[in-house]
Structure 1
Amino acid sequence: MPLESTQVRTTVADPRTPKLKRLNDRILSLYARGMSVRDIRSHLARIYGVEVSPDLISKVTDAVIDELVTWQNRPLDPVWPIIYIDALWVKIRSGSVASKPVYLAVGVDMDGRKDILGLWVGSEGEGAITWMAVLSELRNRGIEDVCIVACDGLKGLPDAVTATRPKATVQTCVIHLTRASLRLSSSKDHPKLVPALKAIYTAPTEAAAEQALDQFAASDLGERYPAIVRTWRSAWPEFTPYLAFPPAIRTVVYSTNMVESINARLRKATRNRGHIPSEQAALKVLYLAVREQINPKAGDKNHVAAHWKEALNQFSLFFEDRLTIQ
């Protein structure tokens, strides 16, 4: 009997069900890790001696769409110390192939664990209206307060946060700001540039940081790279809140390795496919990648910082009564 027919007619009582479930799980896992349909067929034939059709792979992966909708609309905790918002670009065919941003929100909960709160496909050039819709959706799913919203150069986001969550602090990602500076300079100057920039973002006060930036701007290095000075000055309103944070909160905000590791895996899930046929297919691919790597209640492996309790204590003091400790 062809495998497709077996898959359709299988019932719970069928003794072949566990075997087929393992096959389905294997297909989903390979799909989530960035393998194309052709690669999955080749892998299953080579490793397991099983021939499957492209149609069967589509049926197996389409079966998670309802799960994706449930996940995208699930209730969320009311209070989050920090939410990171970032974007990755995916090639989607909609008439013609175009790169579209997929926005993701990654929250850090009261236990210091990470969780991807949602994925949204956008269009290039979107601004505050789009972000207000995303932030409103998160509010409707139960989020009542966020202490810090960390992001990097997403057009319209700071204004949208201010409009919908006036108590939230919008914070530019310091690592992204530093890396943007390094991209604007020659690698031979990096040994001198790195400590000059570190003097800015490790300054004890905003006044000291501004003095360090002025000194850099007046130096030979600053005169050689005026675009770096301009980058820091333009980001200054969203960078300076970082300087008011106590050390443990600075550590959590500065270290974006968690978000970057998630982004790297999501990019891997889409890169090998060249382009994706629709926005829904893009979300399906990315959701499977999310499901493969994130379990918000999985224990220590999802912790953001080794000393989260220290950071949480500083959050509760710095943001006063806004955190409800359970």
Structure 2
Amino acid sequence: MTTVAKRDPADSARIKAIEEKLLANPEMAKLIDELGTSTTDANDLVRGLLQASINRGLNAEMDAHLGYQHGDRNSKTAAGQNNSRNGSYPKRVDSNYGPVDVSVPRDRNGSFLPAMVPKGSRRLTDVDDMIISLYAGGMTVRDIQHHMITSMGVDISHETISAVTETVLDEVMMWQNRQLDDFYPVIFLDALRIKVRDGGRVVNKSAYLAIGVDMDGIKHILGIWLAKEEGASFWAHVCANLASRGVQDVFIVCCDGLKGLPEAVEATWPDSMVQTCVVHLIRAANRWVAYGDRKAVSAALKKVYTAPDEATAKLALDEFAASELGVKYPQSVKVWRDAWDRFVPFLQFPPMARRVIYTTNSIESMNNELRKATRNRVQFTNDDSAIKTLWLMMCNIEDKRAAKRAKQAKGKSRTSGRLIEGARVTNWKQAINQMAVAYPDRFNTYL
């Protein structure tokens, strides 16, 4: 069933009044009858109406700026206005209906700044929005150029399209440096590999995303960081960035065993814990296991991460190591033993809290969506381009998810803006209660 958005009654009334005025004009009604015979004619009609309305609107803007209408000298004198009109200049801007020629009025003081067609703009904003939307959907600059000329008849150079997408960089930087909460009970970290041109060469880099869960259980994307070589210095930079933006404490950081992260976290937030993702451990343990044995190995390892305490988990791992499968695949045992110190914090929590921190799937799902969107891109031109593109893609993904949540909630979405608020963690109330009871000294300050 298709849901049709309800239009505001005031908007409907205004549109109805405009429609009646147009049809009441005999010349306009005749023009509509003559031109409304084909798609091309209809497009020309809309473009003509758009052009006329913009020109009229620009003149109205100038009237409001000066405080009197064109040719009304008495009002000019009464207003004590020394400024006056100073002719106009022609300008062509692109639109969804093709090029539109407008006449932009000028004033003698040079203080008039038109809002309908801002200075320096070569396109109406809906075209810019479409370019950014297509770019966020994963299309390359050349793809967008081809799409615009074939579907809309608007020929825009790839340099112009690049310039349009560059306008979001300021917004990206504001988002990347925005103030964060004092405390996050859980932060998830994960990465995806991308190719970036760096110093005349195309190199593989990791784009790391951090998702923080706030006290209400809402997931927030905290930032994007690019790293060619991961290590203690890189993670020290990430932790310092989060701390400088207001994060004073983190209860637990869940990741895939990233090198150098535990030391950086403990140096920045001494009371925090670093938890290795259980799903990543299972995958790593199965990496060198024959396909036919993977189910059996996973079933045996399940006894380890579902154990009620560390002693029982260690006993289960020893039993697996001594079994036929453990002897056959010693590397699987080694994976768990090497990660043991970063796995055992997980065993301290009750079942509902474990479900929240056992895996980084919440961030991996975002990365999977990003991988789909970046398939068309062989490489990114530089680090800024990579971060800008990934940010736009995340906006696109989050917008779709927010729309889906709103539909499921019958229009009552908690989302308040792009990348500001995500979905709530399942069963969060029970999980936060269990964590707060187990570690009262860590949570009482923030409850």
1:119 aligns with 2:119: no
1:294 aligns with 2:398: yes
Point out the more displaced range, 242-251 or 305-314. Answer: 305-314
Residue 303 (structure 1) shift? 2.8
Change beyond 3 A, Cα 1:142–1:221: same
Partner residue in 1 for 2:24: none
Distance 1:302 1:189 in 2: 38
Partner residue in 2 for 1:322: 442
Distance 1:159 1:119 in 2: 20
Contact 1:145–1:322 under 8 Å retained in 2: no
1:86 aligns with 2:170: no
Residue 266 (structure 1) shift? 2.3
Partner residue in 1 for 2:209: 104
Of residues 297, 308, 311, the one that matches 2:428 is 308
* Aligned AA (1:298): T
Distance 2:375 2:261 in 1: 27
Distance 1:47 1:212 in 2: 62
Distance 1:173 1:255 in 2: 5
Change beyond 3 A, Cα 1:255–1:173: closer
3-state secondary structure, aligned to 2:131:
helix
Distance 2:207 2:115 in 1: 37
Superposed, which structure 2 residues align to 1:88-167 within 5 Å?
Answer: 88-94=192-198, 95-124=200-229, 126-167=230-271
Partner residue in 2 for 1:216: 320
Partner residue in 2 for 1:3: 94
* Aligned AA (2:249): D
Partner residue in 1 for 2:46: none
Distance 1:255 1:173 in 2: 5
Residue 29 (structure 1) shift? 1.9
Q: How high is the sequence identity, in percent, across the aligned residues?
A: 47
Distance 1:46 1:186 in 2: 50
Structure 1, residues 113-143: CA drift from partner, whole Å, max 9, x if none?
111111111122x311221121011111011
Residue 194 (structure 1) shift? 1.7
- Relative CO higher for 1 or 2, CA cutoff 8 Å, sep ≥ 6? 1
Superposed, which structure 2 residues align to 1:65-76 within 5 Å?
Answer: 65-76=169-180
* Aligned AA (2:415): A
Residue 173 (structure 1) shift? 0.5
Distance 2:93 2:205 in 1: 38
Superposed, which structure 2 residues align to 1:120-269 within 5 Å?
Answer: 120-124=225-229, 126-269=230-373
Gapped runs of 5+ residues in structure 2?
Answer: 1-91, 105-112, 403-413
Partner residue in 1 for 2:376: 272
Structure 1, residues 232-265: CA drift from partner, whole Å, max 9, x if none?
1111110110011111110011243311111112
3-state secondary structure, aligned to 1:167:
coil
Residue 212 (structure 1) shift? 0.6
Residue 144 (structure 1) shift? 1.1
Q: TM-score, normalised by structure 2?
A: 0.67
Change beyond 3 A, Cα 1:153–1:271: farther
* Aligned AA (1:171): Q
Residue 147 (structure 1) shift? 0.6
Partner residue in 1 for 2:166: 62
Structure 1, residues 166-220: CA drift from partner, whole Å, max 9, x if none?
1001000111111122222111112211211111100101011111111111111
Distance 1:70 1:177 in 2: 36
Gapped runs of 5+ residues in structure 1?
Answer: none
* Aligned AA (1:302): G
Contact 1:182–1:190 under 8 Å retained in 2: yes
Between Structure 1 and Structure 2, how many residues are aligned? 321
3-state secondary structure, aligned to 2:124:
helix
3-state secondary structure, aligned to 1:158:
helix
